[in-house]
Structure 1
Amino acid sequence: MTTPSRPGTAVVTGAAGGLGRAIAAALHADGWQVLLTDVDPTAVAAAAVPLGGWSGPLDVRDEAACAAVAARAAERGRLGLWVNNAGILATGPSWTQDAATRRRIVEVNALGAMNGTLAALDVMRRQGAGHVLNVVSLAGLVAAPGETVYAASKHALIAFSLGTLADLRAAGVRDVHVSCLCPDGIWTPMLHDRLDDPGAAASFTGTLLSAERVAARAARLARRPRPVVTVPRWRGAQVRLLDALPGLAIRLTPVVLAVGRAGQRRQRRRLTGGPRT
């Protein structure tokens, strides 16, 4: 049985907009002192104004910078929560992406989250308590056609998170937690520009979630850690079934992409108020 986290100081990466900003707002409303961080210092400072005004620049690929942010957050009290939300998406078959694109996706989504996790754990292990919440994706649970490198980076983050949690328990550390939040597609700027992108069809196979709905689940998860949580729950069961039956999943790829393309068309019609094909 896990121990609910008590609000203290929290760090959210990639918090200048979209899901990160929504998570920061939900945590602030739940009593956390939230340090909003982002690679864009001007945008994150503006996002922080209604949430207490605490912000700072952070490129999660910089290990030393992550450590400095963790130390800064701990200066205000117990570092209770670190949310690795920063992430980027590029679509298309893996062979169409150049080396620089592949490297950047892995460095931000996987290595960046590792940097944040380890910076937070350095403080939390000394405190004897704390919680790292990694925002993953359903793509971290099953290979997503058209989002192959992105999905690979998220698979890596799932493995790192669960392995680190197991390592903590093996070392006798009971009150430091690592959780993975795996949402379906979210209607944020990451997907706004993907309505005409065939490579992003897999992100439109379900009902697009609002950032606020996912942020509310993140705030609850911050209070009561769990290793893996999917939003919505039924989609988690669906993608786990496909992951357990990889041959079936590959055969269903044309169906998945057709459903996703239909989802893109529906979303375009909602935005334009009329039919569009």
Structure 2
Amino acid sequence: MTRSPAGAVVTGAGRGLGRQIARLLVARGHHVLVTDLDAASAQATADELGATAMAVDVRDPAQVDAARDAIIARAGRLDVWVNNAGVLVTGPAWEQDPATRRLMIEVNTLGTVNGTVAAIGAMREGGGHVVNIVSLAGLTAVAGEAVYAASKHAAIGFSLSTMADLLVAGISGIDISCVCPDGIWTPMLYDKLNDPASALSFSGKLLQPEDVVEAVRKVLDKPRLVTTVPRRRGLVARLADLAPRLGLAAVPLVVAQGRRAQQRLLDRG
């Protein structure tokens, strides 16, 4: 017998992709806690969707645990936790100041760790599903996004290794899924059209948030450890990692393709 939906948490849900994922979970019948560093945007999204809002800095495990406890108090059980909060700052690592590098690692990696650990603490008895929004940058080399890619590689490594730990510990009923999209046309990319370091994000077909939401819906229905969006680009990324020298040799060509796409978008206004 399938149990009815209960609580769900989405981090970084004040706008963009996170807001759309929260909308999906509300439509599926969950009591959704919308979290964001920006309290006003979290509240606006919650008001729009009929959800609950909470300001949360995912770098702080105490705040993350408080979000978990809040949704359990409201819904009685935590079913789904989506680690969506992320930060992208482009450019070679040597051109970024230490605070910028730390910010990406802490939000993208430590935030994912904090959310996953908090969720597992609530799901060990009744089960549940953790969905980590990662990136194709977590699977291969990405020029102009070295620190971001490092943070996303770490997020995938952590997710898969934690699933291994759950299996070794004999803890069943908890799924962890990594959804790895290509560039998404969200506020994170809106201001990157003039940024050459972001070219790889524009080198394929820019995804709409709905494309990634559909991937989330599919893994919630049928859990998968790693899902790439689109699948073809994921295959290319994995092939590039099988032969790193060949993959890196192709990067300048892909960057040039991305810069042409940026220019076309700028020309359209």
The AA in structure 1 aligned to 2:126 is G
Hey, what's the Cα distance between the residues in 2 that align with 1:234 and 1:30? Answer: 29
Deviations along 1:14-55, whole A, 9 cap, x unmatched? 000011001111111122221100001111100111211311
Displacement of 1:225 in angstroms is: 1.4
Q: What residue ranges of structure 2 are gaps of 5+ in the alignment?
A: none
CA contact (8 A) 1:184 1:232 kept: yes
Instruction: Name which of structure 1's ranges 68-77 and 138-147 shifts more when overlaid on structure 2.
Output: 68-77
In the other structure, the counterpart of 1:37 is 35
Shift of 1:104: 0.6
Are residue 168 (structure 1) and residue 169 (structure 2) matched? no
Q: Which residue of 1 aligns with 2:62?
A: 64
Summarize the Cα distance change of 1:180–1:104 in structure 2 as closer, same or farther, 3 Å threshold: same
Match of 1:145 among 143, 146, 155: 143
Looking at structure 2, the residues matched to 28 and 208 of structure 1 have their Cα atoms a distance apart, in angstroms, of 26
Query: More relative contact order in 1 or in 2 (CA 8 Å, sep 6+)?
Result: 1
- Is 1:91–1:146's contact at 8 Å kept on the other side of the alignment? yes
RMSD: 1.5
- Return the offset for 1:4: 8.6
Aligned residue for 1:275? none
Q: Which residue identity lines up with residue 209 of structure 1 in the other structure?
A: L
Structure 1, gaps ≥5 residues long: 273-277
Question: Per-residue deviation at 1:267?
Answer: 2.2
| AA aligned opposite 1:268 | L
- How much identity, in percent, do the aligned residues show? 53
| Alignment match, 2:106 | 107
Q: How high is the TM-score relative to the length of structure 1?
A: 0.93
* Structure 2 counterparts to residues 132-211 of structure 1, below 5 A: 132-211=130-209
Equivalent AA in structure 2 for residue 216 of structure 1: E
Query: Residue 28 of structure 1 is aligned with which of 22, 26, 32?
Result: 26
SS at match of 1:81: strand
Letter of the 1:248 counterpart? L
Q: Is the 8 A contact 2:26 2:51 kept in 1?
A: no
Q: Are residue 226 (structure 1) and residue 224 (structure 2) matched?
A: yes
- Name the aligned partner's letter for residue 40 of structure 1: D
